[in-house]
């Protein structure tokens, strides 16, 4: 699920110099891995406040989007993140 974006120069996103340096979008995602009844949230995301501080366009809150999606009805059985799963809901 894409939740944020920022327009940057190509040279800011890649190590090697590109002769065709131009503006490109850098998008930010969280992932949902599904297998049968199990759904795993892979979250490397940031909050709306962090997006504002970093000058990123915050498109949507991943947790709020999850809660309103069909995936929420089945529930997330596990999360892979640098934060405790409960903290994701506290900061949404």
Contact 41, 32 (CB under 8 A): yes
Question: Which pLDDT value is given to residue 72?
Answer: 61
Give mean pLDDT, residues 68-87.
64
Residue-wise pLDDT for 12-51, tens only, equals 877 777 677 788 888 988 888 888 778 787 876 788 998 9
Laid out side by side, the sheet with 23-29 consists of: 23-29, 2-9, 57-58
What are the CA-CA distances from residue 20 to residues 30, 67, 75 (Å)?
A: 29, 41, 44
pLDDT at 58: 94
pTM: 0.60
Name the residue range of residue 62's domain. Answer: 2-88
Q: How many domains does the chain have?
A: 1
């Amino acid at each position: 699920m894409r939740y944020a974006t920022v327009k940057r120069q190509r040279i800011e996103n890649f190590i090697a110099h590109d002769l065709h340096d131009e503006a490109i979008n850098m998008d930010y995602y969280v992932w949902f891995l599904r297998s049968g009844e199990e759904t795993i949230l892979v979250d490397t995301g940031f909050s709306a406040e962090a997006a504002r501080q970093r000058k990123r366009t915050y498109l949507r809150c991943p947790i709020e989007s999850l809660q309103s999606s069909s995936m929420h009805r089945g529930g997330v059985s596990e999360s892979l993140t640098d934060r405790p799963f409960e903290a994701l809901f506290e900061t949404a």
